[in-house]
Amino acid sequence: MAPLHQSASFQLLSLLSLAPHSWVAAYNYTFNPLEHLGRVSPYFEPRDVQPSNPSTPQGCTVARAALLSRHGAINVNDDDFEDWIQPFLVKFLNHTGTDWSSIPSMSFLADYQSPITPDTEPETLTKIGEFEATELANNFAIRYPSLKTPSKIWASSPNRTFDTAQAFAHGLENPDQPIEVVRVNEGLHDGANNLVPYQSCPEYREEGIRIATPFRELFTKPIKARFNALAPVFNFTTVDVVGMMLLCGYEFAIQGSSPFCNLDLFPPDDWLGWEYTDDIRYNYDVGYGNYVSGPVGFPWVNATAQLLFAETADQDMYVSFTHRTLPSMALVVLGLFNNTAFVGSGPGINESLPIDRINPHRAWRTSNISPDLGNIVIEKLACQGSYGFDDGEYYRVLANNAPQAIPNCSSGPGWSCSRSGFEDLLQEKEERYYGYSKWCQVDYDNSTDIVTFYQHYP
């Protein structure tokens, strides 16, 4: 086994902050590929753009909070396995005629054995995914000591989301007071009232992978040329390169290390190209490039705002687990990570993500927004004596524990949004996005535009 593989062995404490594959050049340039893995990014809390303080703002206490999270790390996703990883592994396993051990950056392939086999049951939460979900819950208990432990949390129906919720519950519950995980159906005719509303929306279409194709070809072209110069007989294709890059993420999710994350194999610029391809893809799938993102995300944002606004509520914490889609769409509703937010009527949202070069100034970054366990939290703050601010109720949004200023509503403590500002914002978003069934052109007659499962399920 290659030395780098061994040196990158998994340590629990290293997961969140340290870089197991940091690359230190002579002039102290460092790069951690794990923070640029796009859709297979492990959980991390990005601090590089603006390291704002996640602590509760001075003079405020958290009165109630809602968390919406993607499931934790999984062993492999169905489509990624079938479309990229499996074809690469089959080709690799059947390949003869290349002496891998003579190619320094690929020598690990001489005795490589993937933890993913043709018999792997995809979409399964890994031990690392379980550990991180429990740890997120521990962090929650530490961050919000004044909030009562909830009696229920919610998860969409598949095992990976439900199991993530169970692991989170274990990190939060007291032994004598178990938390119930409510399984919310994830069907095709459920309207807005669930945690995966895009599935019941016939107008939801995933165009991203097609739109990102030219850029995928562009960034993999020099990689293929380089690999084929080293191992001409193998004939590396785009599928092989993508399969190998995905293996970095999934193997890390399974065993805490992967030889495919080695920067001798894929140096930093390769990962930046990979990451940008996913930013294009998910912008068009679940972000600002899909016109139903706002309408599909709005019902959850509204229902959550109402739970937080209410004078009294059943619980202090509303915690929900789903896939990347809903948190991303909720961010669109709130106007966060909008590539064009600061250029106004300048270049359109599509021009902000060109497909022939990287826009390094983009705000929409999949690795930062929806890593495994990627989450958003909306806090209801009760503030008194916060110097320079009126006493009262404020709302603050955090994405992966990084506070975000809502466009047009950030004049409160810690750039939070006042109660009346948040109500106005919601009103504005209602005018823009309300009408799930109409926007989605639902073709079944029992749809609903409103989320009610937090009060009543089923």
Ligand X SMILES: *[C@@H]1O[C@H](CO)[C@@H](O)[C@H](O)[C@H]1NC(C)=O
Of 70-78, 282-290, 321-329, 384-392, which segment contacts ligand X by CB under 6 A? Answer: 282-290
CB of 338 to ligand X, least distance (A): 4
Nearer residue to ligand X within complex by CB, 171 or 335: 335
Sorted by sequence, the CB contacts under 8 Å of residue 269 that are 6+ apart come out as none
For ligand X, the binding residues in 412-431 under the rule CB under 6 A are: 430
Mode of pairing for the β-strands spanning 392-399 and 375-383: antiparallel
Q: Rounded distance, CA 192 to CA 291, Å?
A: 16
CB atoms near residue 356 (< 10 Å): 7
Chosen residue from 6, 420, 441, 452 binding ligand X by CB under 6 A: 452
Nearer to ligand X, 2 or 397 (CB): 397
Identify the residue whose tokens are 């890994």. 126
Type of residue found at 202:
P
Give the span between the Cα atoms of 123 and 308, in whole angstroms: 33
Compute, in degrees rounded to 10, the torsion defined by CA atoms 267, 271, 273, 278. 170
The single residue among 148, 189, 210, 221 that binds ligand X, judged by CB under 6 A, is 189
Q: What letter represents residue 216's amino acid?
A: R
| Binding residue for ligand X, selected from 107, 283, 315, 338, defined by CB under 6 A | 338
- One residue of 341, 359, 362, 423 binding ligand X per CB under 6 A: 341
- Which region, judged by CB under 6 A, interacts with ligand X, from 3-11, 80-88, 241-249, 301-309? 301-309
CB nearer to ligand X: give 60 or 369: 369
Q: Residues 349, 354, 415, 424: which binds ligand X (CB under 6 A)?
A: 349
Q: Are 137 and 166 in contact (CB under 8 A)?
A: no
Q: Give me the least distance between CB of 58 and ligand X, in Å please.
A: 27
Pair 375, 68: CB distance under 8 Å: yes
DSSP structural state of residue 264:
T
The region of 6-14, 80-88, 359-367, 442-450 touching ligand X under the rule CB under 6 A is 442-450
Give whichever of 38 and 299 is closer to ligand X, judged by the CB atom.
299
Least distance CB 348 / ligand X (angstroms): 4
Residue 287 touching ligand X (CB under 6 A): no
Which residues, including other chains, have CB under 8 Å from residue 119's CB and lie 6 or more apart? none
Residues in region 209-248 near ligand X by CB under 6 A: 235, 237
Question: Please, are residues 140 and 172 in contact by the beta-carbon 8 Å criterion?
Answer: yes
DSSP conformation class of 33: G
Nearest to 159 by CA among 134, 138, 186: 186
User: Which one of 23, 92, 415, 434 is in contact with ligand X (CB under 6 A)?
Assistant: 434
CA distance 414 to 357: 35
Q: How far is CA 117 from CA 81, 90, 93, 114, 170, in A?
A: 10, 10, 11, 7, 30
Contact between 193 and ligand X by CB under 6 A: the answer reads yes
Tokens of 22: 């940091």
Name every residue whose Cβ is closer than 8 Å to that of residue 223 and which is 6 or more positions away in sequence.
Answer: 236, 241, 266, 270
State the DSSP H helix or E strand holding residue 211, giving kind and residue range, or none if neither: helix 208-211
Two structure tokens written together for 201 = 């929306």
DSSP code of residue 119: T
Residue from 303, 317, 399, 405 touching ligand X (CB under 6 A): that is 303
User: Between 144 and 284, whose beta carbon lies closer to ligand X?
Assistant: 284
Residues in binding contact with ligand X, number by CB under 6 A: 39
**182 touching ligand X, by CB under 6 A:** no
Establish if 340 lies at the interface with ligand X (CB under 6 A): yes
**Does 159 help bind ligand X (rule: CB under 6 A)?**
yes
Q: Which of 295, 335, 371, 414 binds ligand X (CB under 6 A)?
A: 335
Query: What are the φ/ψ torsions at residue 426 (nearest 5 degrees)?
Result: -65, -40
Residue 99 within binding range of ligand X, rule CB under 6 A: no
Given the complex with ligand X, which of 178 and 407 has the nearer CB atom? 407
Per the structure block, which two tokens stand in for 409?
């509503």
Residue with Cβ nearer ligand X (54 or 347): 347
CB of 224 to ligand X, least distance (A): 9
- Note whether 348 binds ligand X by CB under 6 A: yes
- The residue range among 100-108, 212-220, 359-367, 441-449 that interacts with ligand X, by the rule CB under 6 A, is 441-449
The angle that helices 293-309 and 325-334 make with each other, rounded to 10 degrees, is: 80
Question: For ligand X, which residue of 190, 240, 278, 379 counts as binding (CB under 6 A)?
Answer: 190
Indicate whether 302 belongs to the interface with ligand X (CB under 6 A). Answer: yes
> Residue 450, interface with ligand X (CB under 6 A)?
yes
Q: Where are the beta strands (DSSP E) in 279-323?
A: 317-322
Please identify, among the stretches 44-52, 176-184, 338-346, 387-395, the one whose residues bind ligand X according to the rule CB under 6 A. 338-346
288 lies in the binding site for ligand X (CB under 6 A): yes
Structure tokens at 116: 């993913």
User: Residues in the site for ligand X, rule: CB under 6 A?
Assistant: 28, 90, 94, 121, 159, 187, 189-191, 193, 207, 235, 237, 284, 288-289, 294, 299, 302-303, 306, 332, 335, 338, 340-341, 344, 348-350, 407-408, 430, 434, 446-448, 450, 452
